Amino acid sequence: MSDVVTTVLFEHPLNEKMRTWLRIEFLLQQLHANPQLGTIAPALTFFRTASDLLDVLERGEVRTELLKELERQQQKLLQWADVPGVDMARIHALRVELKNTAAVLMSAPRIGQALREDRLINLVKQRLSIPGGCCSFDLPTLHIWLHLPQAQRDKDVQYWLETLEPLNRALTRVLDLIRQSGPFSNLTSLNGFFQDNAEGADLLRLRLSLEHQLYPQISGHKTRYAIRFLPLDSEKGQVPARLNFELACC
């Protein structure tokens, strides 16, 4: 029998900037998950996700925040220059990559503008809030689009995704660096509760064994956070008096 224990990774933002970035990442991953729209079900999933993404992008200065973070990460890499034994070639390559990523993002058109101006996306977006509002008699435009050759639909989807690539590239690089900035530590909660400080952190990453079927309820802001572990089965599930888990403050 295998001794491997399945774990689940939870992430919790500690500020509004990180909350927005994680939501955008979540939506971009869905858009890229199934780019071949052959039937109404995956097509509506794609258009609904695109609509959600546009709504999130409208709520803040995403480009500005990402450019600031790319610059901040470049400055952090410079601090490694005086550390003995550091791979300066690797540091230089990362700084060049961050600089190029920032340049592409800065020169790109307004993020999401191509989707906002697309007639088909707009027509679908207007009907998504109506229960069943995307039937063929409500949206004959979508109905006929789904009957076009697959290659033509693929070309449309590819274009929409390509217009989001500067955002996708910058966000992926920023989140990768943030996630790598904090190592996991082995910790123990007592009676399902744990709290600590997270000075200067943007993101909590928690790794928990699936064995007890528990999930974390996390509250945190700026410098302090608290975690309460709750059973998936609220009636019969139990929380061990001492629960081991892994946590990274990034």
pLDDT 10s digits, 20-62: 999 999 999 999 998 889 899 999 999 999 999 999 999 879 9
In a domain, 25, yes or no: no
pLDDT at residue 56 in the model: 96
pLDDT at residue 91 in the model: 85
pLDDT at residue 59 in the model: 84
- Across residues 94-111, what is the average pLDDT? 94
Residue that finishes a domain, picked among 180, 201, 236: 180
pLDDT band at residue 2, thresholds of 50, 70 and 90? Answer: very low
Residue that finishes a domain, picked among 127, 153, 180: 180
- Across residues 177-187, what is the average pLDDT? 95
pLDDT at residue 148 in the model: 96
Domain that holds residue 245: 185-249
In a domain, 20, yes or no: no
Distance from C-alpha of 136 to C-alpha of 118, rounded to nearest angstrom: 19
In a domain, 16, yes or no: no
pLDDT at residue 84 in the model: 77
The pTM (predicted TM-score) of the whole model is 0.92
One domain, residues 245 and 122: no
One domain, residues 198 and 169: no
At 241, list the tokens: 């008096």
pLDDT at residue 221 in the model: 73
- Across residues 222-233, what is the average pLDDT? 91
77 pLDDT above the threshold of 60: yes
pLDDT at residue 104 in the model: 96
In a domain, 29, yes or no: no
Q: Average pLDDT over the chain, rounded to whole?
A: 92
Instruction: Decide if 89 contacts 41 (C-beta within 8 A).
Output: no
pLDDT band at residue 4, thresholds of 50, 70 and 90? Answer: low
CATH, residue 202: 2.60.440.10
pLDDT at residue 167 in the model: 97
pLDDT at residue 169 in the model: 97
From the list 241, 183, 232, the residue with the least C-alpha distance to 210 is 232
One domain, residues 140 and 64: yes
pLDDT at residue 76 in the model: 87
In a domain, 8, yes or no: no
In a domain, 75, yes or no: yes
User: What is the number of domains present in the chain?
Assistant: 2
Helix (H) or strand (E) holding 196: strand 193-197
Query: pLDDT tens digit string along 129-143?
Result: 999 999 999 999 999
Phi, psi of 248 (to 5 degrees): -125, 130
CATH, residue 162: 1.10.3900.10
One domain, residues 176 and 232: no
One domain, residues 150 and 201: no
Q: What residues form DSSP beta bridges with 220?
A: 225
Handedness of CA 67, 69, 70, 75 (dihedral sign): positive
Distance from C-alpha of 172 to C-alpha of 73, rounded to nearest angstrom: 13
- Across residues 61-72, what is the average pLDDT? 95
